[in-house]
A and B are shown apart, each in its own frame.
Chain A
Amino acid sequence: DIQMTQSPSSLSASVGDRVTITCQASQGIRNDLGWYQQKPGKAPKRLIYAASSLQSGLPSRFSGSGSGTEFTLTISSLQPEDFATYYCLQHNSYPLTFGGGTKVEIK
Protein backbone atom coordinates (compact mmCIF):
# COMPACT_ATOMS: atom_id res chain seq x y z
CA ASP A 1 0.00 0.00 0.00
CA ILE A 2 1.15 3.56 -0.67
CA GLN A 3 1.57 5.63 2.47
CA MET A 4 0.89 9.38 2.32
CA THR A 5 2.75 11.45 4.90
CA GLN A 6 1.20 14.88 5.28
CA SER A 7 2.76 17.77 7.19
CA PRO A 8 2.24 19.69 9.28
CA SER A 9 -0.66 18.07 11.12
CA SER A 10 -1.79 21.51 12.21
CA LEU A 11 -0.79 25.13 11.80
CA SER A 12 -1.85 28.52 13.04
CA ALA A 13 -1.92 31.37 10.56
CA SER A 14 -3.36 34.84 10.10
CA VAL A 15 -5.58 36.19 7.38
CA GLY A 16 -3.34 37.17 4.46
CA ASP A 17 -0.59 34.67 5.29
CA ARG A 18 0.89 32.32 2.74
CA VAL A 19 0.33 28.70 3.78
CA THR A 20 2.08 25.60 2.47
CA ILE A 21 1.07 21.99 3.15
CA THR A 22 3.07 19.02 1.89
CA CYS A 23 2.38 15.37 1.17
CA GLN A 24 5.03 12.76 0.61
CA ALA A 25 4.19 9.44 -1.04
CA SER A 26 6.01 6.27 -0.04
CA GLN A 27 6.54 5.50 -3.72
CA GLY A 28 6.15 7.37 -6.98
CA ILE A 29 2.57 8.19 -7.94
CA ARG A 30 3.17 10.35 -11.03
CA ASN A 31 0.70 13.23 -10.63
CA ASP A 32 -2.15 11.07 -9.33
CA LEU A 33 -2.92 13.29 -6.37
CA GLY A 34 -5.84 15.41 -5.25
CA TRP A 35 -6.23 17.96 -2.47
CA TYR A 36 -9.42 18.30 -0.43
CA GLN A 37 -10.77 20.86 2.02
CA GLN A 38 -13.13 19.79 4.80
CA LYS A 39 -15.03 22.04 7.18
CA PRO A 40 -16.59 20.70 10.41
CA GLY A 41 -19.70 18.63 9.80
CA LYS A 42 -19.36 18.87 6.03
CA ALA A 43 -18.21 16.57 3.25
CA PRO A 44 -14.76 17.14 1.77
CA LYS A 45 -14.52 19.32 -1.30
CA ARG A 46 -11.92 18.86 -4.02
CA LEU A 47 -9.60 21.82 -4.55
CA ILE A 48 -6.91 20.40 -6.80
CA TYR A 49 -6.83 17.40 -9.13
CA ALA A 50 -3.96 15.84 -11.06
CA ALA A 51 -1.59 17.46 -8.54
CA SER A 52 -1.77 20.96 -10.01
CA SER A 53 -5.12 21.57 -11.74
CA LEU A 54 -7.46 23.93 -9.93
CA GLN A 55 -11.05 22.75 -9.57
CA SER A 56 -13.39 24.85 -11.68
CA GLY A 57 -14.92 27.83 -9.86
CA LEU A 58 -12.37 27.98 -7.06
CA PRO A 59 -10.21 31.02 -6.34
CA SER A 60 -6.72 31.16 -7.76
CA ARG A 61 -5.15 31.61 -4.32
CA PHE A 62 -5.19 27.79 -4.15
CA SER A 63 -2.45 26.04 -6.11
CA GLY A 64 -0.85 22.63 -6.18
CA SER A 65 2.50 21.40 -7.38
CA GLY A 66 4.66 18.32 -7.43
CA SER A 67 5.05 14.98 -9.10
CA GLY A 68 6.41 11.57 -8.17
CA THR A 69 6.66 11.54 -4.38
CA GLU A 70 6.59 15.18 -3.23
CA PHE A 71 3.51 17.39 -3.44
CA THR A 72 2.54 20.81 -2.14
CA LEU A 73 -0.71 22.70 -1.63
CA THR A 74 -0.25 26.45 -1.33
CA ILE A 75 -2.76 29.07 -0.25
CA SER A 76 -1.23 32.35 -1.36
CA SER A 77 -3.24 34.66 0.89
CA LEU A 78 -5.28 32.95 3.59
CA GLN A 79 -8.90 34.09 3.83
CA PRO A 80 -11.32 33.64 6.76
CA GLU A 81 -13.26 30.96 4.86
CA ASP A 82 -10.07 28.90 4.36
CA PHE A 83 -9.82 27.82 7.99
CA ALA A 84 -10.49 24.11 7.66
CA THR A 85 -8.78 20.74 7.48
CA TYR A 86 -6.96 19.77 4.30
CA TYR A 87 -6.24 16.25 3.01
CA CYS A 88 -4.24 14.84 0.12
CA LEU A 89 -5.41 11.69 -1.66
CA GLN A 90 -3.33 9.40 -3.86
CA HIS A 91 -5.30 7.65 -6.60
CA ASN A 92 -2.39 5.99 -8.37
CA SER A 93 -3.13 2.53 -7.04
CA TYR A 94 -5.59 0.72 -4.81
CA PRO A 95 -6.13 0.87 -1.93
CA LEU A 96 -6.52 4.62 -2.30
CA THR A 97 -4.94 6.41 0.63
CA PHE A 98 -5.27 9.82 2.25
CA GLY A 99 -2.75 11.88 4.10
CA GLY A 100 -3.42 12.35 7.80
CA GLY A 101 -4.80 15.86 7.37
CA THR A 102 -3.67 19.40 8.20
CA LYS A 103 -5.86 21.55 10.40
CA VAL A 104 -5.46 25.24 9.57
CA GLU A 105 -6.44 27.37 12.55
CA ILE A 106 -6.72 31.08 13.18
CA LYS A 107 -3.69 32.66 14.85
Chain B
Amino acid sequence: QVQLVESGGGVVQPGRSLRLSCAASGLSFTTYTMHWVRQAPGMGLEWVSVISYNGRFQDYADSVKGRFTISRDNSKNTLDLQMNSLRGDDTAVYYCASSYNFGDSFDYWGQGALVTVSS
Protein backbone atom coordinates (compact mmCIF):
# COMPACT_ATOMS: atom_id res chain seq x y z
CA GLN B 1 0.00 0.00 0.00
CA VAL B 2 1.02 3.63 -0.38
CA GLN B 3 3.17 5.05 2.40
CA LEU B 4 4.43 8.58 2.81
CA VAL B 5 6.69 8.94 5.84
CA GLU B 6 7.91 12.34 7.00
CA SER B 7 11.03 12.87 9.06
CA GLY B 8 13.19 15.72 10.28
CA GLY B 9 10.77 17.54 12.55
CA GLY B 10 11.81 18.96 15.90
CA VAL B 11 12.34 22.08 17.96
CA VAL B 12 14.31 24.92 16.38
CA GLN B 13 15.06 28.49 17.41
CA PRO B 14 13.61 31.44 15.49
CA GLY B 15 15.77 32.41 12.54
CA ARG B 16 17.33 28.96 12.22
CA SER B 17 16.83 26.30 9.54
CA LEU B 18 15.34 22.84 9.37
CA ARG B 19 14.96 20.28 6.60
CA LEU B 20 12.01 17.93 6.35
CA SER B 21 12.00 14.78 4.26
CA CYS B 22 9.25 12.51 3.00
CA ALA B 23 9.97 8.95 1.87
CA ALA B 24 7.44 7.49 -0.55
CA SER B 25 6.67 3.86 -1.29
CA GLY B 26 3.87 1.91 -2.92
CA LEU B 27 3.20 4.48 -5.62
CA SER B 28 4.82 5.44 -8.90
CA PHE B 29 6.59 8.39 -7.31
CA THR B 30 8.11 9.69 -10.52
CA THR B 31 4.65 10.34 -11.99
CA TYR B 32 3.10 12.08 -8.97
CA THR B 33 2.99 15.75 -8.12
CA MET B 34 3.97 16.26 -4.47
CA HIS B 35 2.95 18.84 -1.91
CA TRP B 36 3.60 20.05 1.61
CA VAL B 37 0.61 21.04 3.73
CA ARG B 38 0.80 22.30 7.31
CA GLN B 39 -1.49 22.64 10.29
CA ALA B 40 -0.72 24.95 13.19
CA PRO B 41 -1.82 23.67 16.62
CA GLY B 42 -5.61 23.76 16.89
CA MET B 43 -5.95 25.39 13.48
CA GLY B 44 -7.01 24.44 9.96
CA LEU B 45 -5.04 23.18 7.00
CA GLU B 46 -2.74 25.39 4.93
CA TRP B 47 -1.18 24.43 1.62
CA VAL B 48 2.55 25.27 1.64
CA SER B 49 4.26 24.17 -1.56
CA VAL B 50 4.06 21.99 -4.67
CA ILE B 51 6.59 20.38 -7.00
CA SER B 52 5.79 18.81 -10.34
CA TYR B 53 6.50 15.16 -11.09
CA ASN B 54 9.81 15.98 -12.80
CA GLY B 55 10.83 18.74 -10.38
CA ARG B 56 10.78 21.44 -13.03
CA PHE B 57 7.98 23.49 -11.52
CA GLN B 58 7.54 24.63 -7.93
CA ASP B 59 5.16 27.00 -6.25
CA TYR B 60 4.80 28.34 -2.72
CA ALA B 61 2.31 29.99 -0.42
CA ASP B 62 3.07 33.67 0.07
CA SER B 63 3.67 32.98 3.77
CA VAL B 64 6.78 30.89 2.99
CA LYS B 65 7.95 32.26 -0.36
CA GLY B 66 11.62 33.16 -0.29
CA ARG B 67 12.24 31.15 2.90
CA PHE B 68 11.23 27.58 2.02
CA THR B 69 12.49 25.44 -0.87
CA ILE B 70 10.85 22.25 -2.09
CA SER B 71 12.83 19.59 -3.95
CA ARG B 72 12.61 15.93 -4.87
CA ASP B 73 14.92 13.06 -5.75
CA ASN B 74 13.10 10.68 -8.06
CA SER B 75 15.97 8.19 -7.90
CA LYS B 76 15.36 7.82 -4.14
CA ASN B 77 11.59 8.44 -4.04
CA THR B 78 12.05 11.30 -1.62
CA LEU B 79 10.62 14.78 -1.20
CA ASP B 80 12.27 17.51 0.85
CA LEU B 81 11.37 20.88 2.30
CA GLN B 82 14.23 23.17 3.27
CA MET B 83 12.93 25.73 5.75
CA ASN B 84 15.08 28.79 6.44
CA SER B 85 14.56 31.88 8.58
CA LEU B 86 11.96 30.06 10.64
CA ARG B 87 9.43 32.06 12.64
CA GLY B 88 7.05 31.25 15.45
CA ASP B 89 4.10 31.13 13.08
CA ASP B 90 5.80 28.31 11.16
CA THR B 91 5.10 26.05 14.16
CA ALA B 92 2.88 23.30 12.78
CA VAL B 93 2.51 19.68 11.81
CA TYR B 94 3.85 19.39 8.27
CA TYR B 95 2.31 16.77 5.99
CA CYS B 96 3.58 15.59 2.65
CA ALA B 97 0.81 14.70 0.24
CA SER B 98 0.55 13.43 -3.32
CA SER B 99 -1.70 14.24 -6.24
CA TYR B 100 -1.93 12.24 -9.42
CA ASN B 101 -1.72 15.34 -11.59
CA PHE B 102 -0.72 18.95 -11.00
CA GLY B 103 -4.37 20.01 -10.98
CA ASP B 104 -5.73 17.22 -8.79
CA SER B 105 -6.61 17.11 -5.11
CA PHE B 106 -4.46 15.23 -2.61
CA ASP B 107 -4.99 11.49 -2.62
CA TYR B 108 -2.37 10.21 -0.17
CA TRP B 109 -0.98 11.87 2.96
CA GLY B 110 1.86 11.15 5.34
CA GLN B 111 1.39 10.97 9.10
CA GLY B 112 2.94 14.40 9.63
CA ALA B 113 6.05 15.84 11.28
CA LEU B 114 5.85 18.41 14.06
CA VAL B 115 8.01 21.51 13.73
CA THR B 116 8.17 23.78 16.76
CA VAL B 117 9.87 27.15 16.42
CA SER B 118 10.69 28.46 19.86
CA SER B 119 13.56 30.03 21.74
Contact = CB atoms under 8 A, between A and B. Distances in A.
A39 interface: no
Interface of B: 35, 44-47, 50, 59, 61-62, 95, 99, 103-107, 109-112
Interface of A: 32-34, 36, 38, 42-46, 49, 87, 89, 91-92, 94-101
Given A89-B105, A94-B50, A95-B62, A43 B95 contact: yes
Per DSSP, chain B at the interface is: loop
Contacts of B110: 43
Contact of A100 (B44, B47, B111, B112): B44
Contacts of A87: 44-45
Contacts of B99: 91
B11 to A, nearest CB: 19
